[in-house]
Amino acid sequence: MAASNVRSDLSKGIKKIMVVFPNIEHKYHTSGENAGLLQRIDSDVASKIKELVVEEGVANVEEMQRHLTSFVMKNVTPAPSRTKRRFAPTKKVIRYHMNKAAKKGCDSNDDQHNLVQLVSVISV
């Protein structure tokens, strides 16, 4: 019906601009407390994971969660809700960042340099 009205108006030389806005409802994304479930991990928390893996040798995800909880409680004010994944990441996210930190440590330039020196000493 609307299309026929537009055609008849165009044939009469009437031009209209129609703008359609969506409803203001939060229909296609979460809001409120649940919005915190989709946040990326905080950069300070990611740095703390890297530090604990590289310097302290933390290899257990549950132990890392305990360290991160105490780190967030001491360093973030006001204390964020436990539903905010930015400061309380899931075990899967923690494991990902732990593996990333461990893998990055394997590709260190110092290690590569030391390996080249060892190979040159052995081959001589």
Report pLDDT digits (tens) over 78-104: 888 888 888 999 999 999 999 999 888
Domain contains 23: no
- CA 33/CA 42 separation, integer angstroms: 17
How many independent structural domains does the chain possess? Answer: 1
**With contact defined as beta carbons under 8 Å apart, do 118 and 97 qualify?**
no
pLDDT at residue number 63:
95
Residue 54 lies in a domain: yes
Residue with tokens 């055609």: 7
In a domain, 88, yes or no: yes
- Please report which residue ranges of 1-124 form alpha helices under DSSP H: 2-11, 43-51, 61-75, 91-106, 109-123
pLDDT confidence of residue 73:
92
Q: Domain of 95?
A: 30-109
17 part of a folded domain: no
Give residue 22's pLDDT. Answer: 73
Nearest to 34 by CA among 76, 81, 66: 81
Token pair recorded at residue 71? 């780190």
What is the structure's pLDDT at 92? 95
Domain annotation covers residue 98 = yes
In a domain, 121, yes or no: no
Which segments of the chain have a pLDDT < 70?
1, 24-38, 105-111, 124
Q: Is residue 58 part of a domain?
A: yes
- Is position 19 within any domain? no
Dihedral sign computed on CA atoms, order 109, 57, 99, 49: negative
- Please, is 54 exposed, middle or buried when counting C-beta atoms within 10 Å of its C-beta (0-12, 13-18, 19+)? middle
Most distant pair of Cα atoms in the chain: their distance: 94
Q: Which pLDDT belongs to residue 98?
A: 94
